[in-house]
Amino acid sequence: MSRRRILILGGSTRAAADSVRRAGCLPICADMFADLDLRQSADVIPVRQYPHSLPDDVRHVQADGWFYCGALENYPEIIAAIQRHNPNCGPLLGTSPEALRQVRDPQWLVQRLRSAGIAALDVLPSSRPPEADGSWLQKPLASAGGRSIRVWNYAATQVPFAEPYYFHRRTSGVALSAIFFYEANHIEWLGGASELQAQQSSHPPSTFAYCGSCGPLHRINFSDAHSVDRNESCRLRCRCHVGTVKSMPTMSSVIVSGNAVFQSNVQVQLDKIARVLVRNAPALRGLVGLDFCLHNGAVWLTEVNPRFTASIEVLELSTRRSIVFGRDEEQVPRHPELEPPPPSTRMVAKQILYAPRRLIVGDLSRFARSSNPWVIPTIADVPLPGSVVEAEWPICTVFGAGPNFDEMRQQLRERVNSIHSLLSVG
């Protein structure tokens, strides 16, 4: 049986390409970086001017389907152009431009949540700035990876914001993410991860820059909302409620399934948010990531990412299950070289390293990953030798794994220090 060819578009497609390979398919990729390890594992399409040239760049690509990943959700017009003019790419395996415009609109999101009785953080348009007392964030409308977010205080009022923005009320708590897959009135929960806090070893460009993920998520210790219980025996394996959602008259049968990601009261809140999204954005499809803060047992949604997200890679490598197309047992690859290892209880983390200054990267090809996408690499997103990485841009991704949180963090720390030494950025 021939393997499906899947086209992937986005700022960086390497993680999604490996996920597609774990699902037994062949990736074709177009992104900003075309890193060394991506070139070794996928067909790479040259991009002339990301993202605006993408519809023309992939015009002659033959594929069985396509999807987008990080940052391209901010360009629904480009996604619409590919749908119109690139029939050879196959169907869009994800959310349509119409639904993107809805769920990525902060005002629309808050209104829909509150109309369903779900508490949501205040948002304000740029035309109505709140008091600059540090209790609000100034965010770009075209957000991705925490880029350009800053605290709204007196200092921020003195420096103009370079792009369209809005204000989002701040909240404390632990930063988490949950992934679900939506298709044919079926919400399937796939997993959850915690976000690595901004740390000096990543040289993040800002406090809010995405520095990495850790998973699979463990139960939250509600005695301390800022910590995660590290006891492996506490992981939830109970089933979510399965049945007809009678409170949604516009949807006759929405089924919710999958392993519960959080303790029951948190999972109930996530279920309500997911149902509101699929009810009010009928064109929502495929993978959907929910970024939120958990504070005193309350879920405060911060962003909806209707696409392949960064934490999916962590979940797949830790659980050894392919989830890019939902958790369908029939999609488990039958190609011997792609068979996943036996299940384990290990944890996996990925940490993004940013350039503290302009760098010319040497030869890191020795770290290029195994041809087997189930093998956890030392690093990924490996730049080509001699690549110039500008200050505050990502250099590479470092991985760590272990049977528990502490051993995983120790391996990650050692690998980060090793890469720092090689790059002379420690």
pLDDT digits over 284-298, tens only?
A: 999 999 999 999 999
User: Per-residue confidence at 344, pLDDT binned at 50, 70, 90?
Assistant: low
Average pLDDT over residues 398-424: 92
Say yes or no: 69 and 163 in one domain.
no
Say yes or no: 250 and 179 in one domain.
yes
Say yes or no: 78 and 57 in one domain.
yes
High-pLDDT (> 90) share of the chain, %:
71
Q: Is residue 161 situated within a structural domain? A: yes
User: Per-residue confidence at 219, pLDDT binned at 50, 70, 90?
Assistant: very low
Q: Is residue 408 situated within a structural domain? A: no
Boundary (domain end) residue, out of 319, 352, 372:
319
Q: Is residue 27 situated within a structural domain? A: yes
Identify which has the larger pLDDT, 345 or 124.
124
Say yes or no: 136 and 11 in one domain.
no
Give dist(CA 166, CA 293) in Å, integer. 19
User: Per-residue confidence at 251, pLDDT binned at 50, 70, 90?
Assistant: very low
Considering the chain, what is the average pLDDT of its residues? 86
pLDDT at 197: 83
User: Per-residue confidence at 328, pLDDT binned at 50, 70, 90?
Assistant: low
Q: Is residue 117 situated within a structural domain? A: no
* 3-class SS string, the chain: CCCCEEEEECCCCHHHHHHHHHCCCEEEEECCCCCHHHHHHCEECCCCCCCCCHHHHCCCCCCCEEEECCCHHHCHHHHHHHHHHCHHHCCECCCCHHHHHHHCCHHHHHHHHHHCCCCCCCEEECCCCCCCCCCEEEEECCCCCCCCCEECCHHHHCCCCCCCEEEEECCCCEEEEEEEEEECCEEEEEEEEEECCCCHHHCCCCCCCCCEEEECCCCECCCCCCCECCCHHHCCCCECCCCCCCCCCCCCCCEEECECCCCHHHHHHHHHHHHHHHHHCCCCCEEEEEEEEEECCEEEEEEEECCCCCHHHHHHHHHCCCCECECCHHHCCCCHHHCCCCCCCCEEEEEEEECCCCEECCCCHHHCCCCCCCCCCCEECCCCCCCEECCCCEEEEEEEEECCHHHHHHHHHHHHHHHHHHHCCC
The sign of the torsion formed by the CA atoms of 119, 125, 128, 131 equals positive
Whether the predicted pLDDT of 64 surpasses 70: yes
Span of 87-91, 270-274, 334-338, 389-393 with lowest mean pLDDT = 334-338
Kindly state the tokens that stand for 221.
Answer: 């210790």
Boundary (domain end) residue, out of 275, 303, 319:
319
What CATH number is given to the structural domain containing 249? 3.30.470
Say yes or no: 264 and 233 in one domain.
yes
Q: How far, rounded to the nearest angstrom, does the alpha carbon of residue 95 sit from its chain's CA centroid? A: 15
pTM recorded for the entire structure: 0.88
Say yes or no: 258 and 133 in one domain.
no
Say yes or no: 315 and 179 in one domain.
yes
Say yes or no: 189 and 309 in one domain.
yes
Contact 397, 351 (CB under 8 A): yes
The whole domain housing 186 covers: 175-196+216-319
Q: Is residue 365 situated within a structural domain? A: no
Say yes or no: 161 and 293 in one domain.
no
Look at the chain and report how many structural domains it folds into.
3
Whether the predicted pLDDT of 158 surpasses 80: yes
Average pLDDT over residues 210-218: 86
Say yes or no: 147 and 187 in one domain.
no
What CATH number is given to the structural domain containing 9? 3.40.50.720
Say yes or no: 59 and 185 in one domain.
no
Average pLDDT over residues 104-132: 97
Q: Is residue 103 situated within a structural domain? A: no
Whether the predicted pLDDT of 337 surpasses 60: no
Q: What are phi and psi of 169, to 5 degrees?
A: -65, 140
pLDDT at 335: 56
Say yes or no: 52 and 153 in one domain.
no
User: Per-residue confidence at 20, pLDDT binned at 50, 70, 90?
Assistant: very high
